[in-house]
Amino acid sequence: MCRQDHDSAVARLRAAMSSLPINAPIRLGKPSSNLFRFGGRDRTPGLPTDGLDTVIRLDPNARTVEVGGLITYEKLVAATLPHKLMPAVVPQLRTITLGGAVAGLGIESTSFRRGLPHESVIEMDVLTGAGDVVTVTESDPLFRAFPNSYGTLGYAVRLVIGLEPVENAVELTHHRFGSPFEAFEAMGQLWERPEVDFLDGVAFGPGEIYLTTGRFDAGIGPVSDYTGQSIFYQSVRERDTDRLTVHDYLWRWDTDWFWCSAAFGVQNRLLRPFWPKVYRRSDVYRRLVGLDRRLGLTRGMGVLSRRRREAVIQDVEVPVDNAAEFLTRFFESIPIRPVWLCPLRGSDDRRWPLYRLDPEVGYVNFGFWATVPLAPGMSEDHHNLLVERLVAECGGHKSLYSTVHYDREQFWRSYDEAAYRDVKRQYDPHGRLPELYDKVVGDHATR
């Protein structure tokens, strides 16, 4: 796609926005979402986004790519891998968009060296609430406040990001540990090994934890395939080493949505062959969950069986020194297995006011996505509130893509209100975009 086509797409977007009354709320007409806030369906007409999901220019020599903000990582990786390049951090799910990952955070097994997706952004164009398209770089307050703003400060319509070189394949080693303390002590050691290019893990329980290290391999040889009958997360229990193409490694979690495809019967050995391969994708499962939430099927079955359940879908970051305590207490209190582990360190010394990470501190991201039974007398958000308290007690913070229960005071203690307000006043003076707290907390606020 040429720059002229992209500029035409942006012009259509701005024209649609300017045609609305000045007090009318606005939102993008995105074809998909990876958020897990299932409130009432937003009937606000979505602004047109066609033409904002393509590669504008790829420069293999400079290792940069210029793209539309709504390009999915699936399309982005497909464009860069033929040049033996990839984004510094590729979130696990194919349909996460680059603009969404920058505005709403993303993480993967390169984050222990490369931080989060916004840290490799060189420049971006943002459509603001005032209807302007502004080009911002790291010296601009909007650029720094954009990560974790979730579309409340504007929409990234164009980004330039740096790329990293890759080889033919990724060789994996799975290391087993018998306790959280052993696992996180080892994680701190693996973190420093220069030959480790990738690092993450899976905790099946307090006594069965695996850390997986990966390194690029330039050779040609056999590779595993986890897009068919075999399931990646189960393989870490079954073998000590493995080898995948870079493409298949990047999407190793997408086929089964980590392990969540089991809820749809996809991991059943009798049913799996009949579930079309083309539909073994995270976006398909996410749409099924959305349909269930809208129709209330699971909730209705719970009422009939008199068994209440609570969805606990969270990603949280805890300093690595407190990670063993967090996981131990989590397993003692919340019946969710497995849990994903992903180390993280901010890769530069720029400060991101809405999601501050101390560059001198290593963190561990814990991802857990399941429903759990509620005992009689428990509130509907019992376990989510417990997680938020535990995260605070362990000195961590959480992503905002799912349910959030903080009251306003708690929320703004973690996410810099003063910096947010300054940027909000400048770029959205009429309040056409939602407030961050209202958007991510809404009816879930702690009373």
306-365 pLDDT, tens digit each: 589 999 999 999 999 999 999 999 999 999 999 999 999 987 777 899 998 888 899 999
Task: For residues 182-199, give the mean pLDDT.
Answer: 96
Residues present in the chain in total = 447
User: So what's the pLDDT on residue 27?
Assistant: 82
User: So what's the pLDDT on residue 348?
Assistant: 72
User: So what's the pLDDT on residue 301?
Assistant: 44
User: So what's the pLDDT on residue 341?
Assistant: 98
User: So what's the pLDDT on residue 298?
Assistant: 61
Q: Both tokens of residue 259?
A: 């392990």
Q: Which helix (H) or strand (E) holds 422?
A: helix 417-427
Task: For residues 57-61, give the mean pLDDT.
Answer: 98
Checking if the pLDDT of 302 tops 70, the result is no
Instruction: Decide if 266 contacts 246 (C-beta within 8 A).
Output: no
User: So what's the pLDDT on residue 42?
Assistant: 53
Checking if the pLDDT of 15 tops 60, the result is yes
Q: Both tokens of residue 141?
A: 């307050």
Share of residues in the chain with pLDDT > 90 (%): 82
User: So what's the pLDDT on residue 346?
Assistant: 87
Checking if the pLDDT of 181 tops 80, the result is yes
Q: Which residue, 433, 372, 442, is CA-closest to 402?
A: 442
Q: How far apart are CA 81 and CA 61, in angstroms?
A: 14
At residue 304 the predicted structure's pLDDT band, cuts being 50, 70 and 90, is very low
User: So what's the pLDDT on residue 359?
Assistant: 87
| H-type alpha helices, 131-171 | 141-145
Cα dihedral angle (355, 356, 361, 366), rounded to 10 degrees?
Answer: -20
Classified as helix, coil or strand, 416 is: coil
Share of residues in the chain with pLDDT > 70 (%): 92
| Exposure on the CB side of residue 112, measured as CA atoms within 13 A | 24
Higher pLDDT, 423 or 27: 423
112: exposed, middle or buried (C-beta count within 10 Å: 0-12, 13-18, 19+)? buried
Q: What's the whole-model pTM score?
A: 0.94
User: So what's the pLDDT on residue 22?
Assistant: 84
Interval 143-177: pLDDT, tens: 999 999 999 999 999 999 999 999 999 999 999 99
Higher pLDDT, 303 or 55: 55
Q: Which residue, 142, 105, 69, 165, is CA-closest to 433?
A: 142
- The dotted CATH code for 3-166+428-433 is 3.30.465.10
Q: Which residues, 6+ apart, have CB-to-CB distance to 130 below 8 Å? A: 427, 428, 429, 430, 432
Q: How far apart are CA 423 and CA 352, in angstroms?
A: 13
At residue 94 the predicted structure's pLDDT band, cuts being 50, 70 and 90, is very high
Instruction: For the chain, give the mean pLDDT.
Output: 92
Task: For residues 241-251, give the mean pLDDT.
Answer: 98
User: So what's the pLDDT on residue 199?
Assistant: 98
User: So what's the pLDDT on residue 219?
Assistant: 93
User: So what's the pLDDT on residue 138?
Assistant: 94
At residue 29 the predicted structure's pLDDT band, cuts being 50, 70 and 90, is confident
- Residue 95's alpha-carbon distances to 106, 257, 416, in angstroms, are 12, 12, 29
In SS3 terms, 259-314 reads as: CHHHHHCCCCCCCHHHCCHHHCCHHHHHHHHHHHHHHCHHHHHHHHHCCCEEEEEE
User: So what's the pLDDT on residue 32?
Assistant: 67
Q: How far apart are CA 200 and CA 364, in angstroms?
A: 9
**CB burial readout 160-178, b (16+ within 10 A) else e:** bbbbbebeebbbbebbebe
Task: Report which residue type is found at 137.
Answer: T
Higher pLDDT, 42 or 7: 7
Instruction: Decide if 20 contacts 433 (C-beta within 8 A).
Output: no
List for the chain the helix, strand, coil content (%; round to 5).
Answer: 35, 25, 40
Higher pLDDT, 267 or 294: 267
Higher pLDDT, 100 or 289: 100
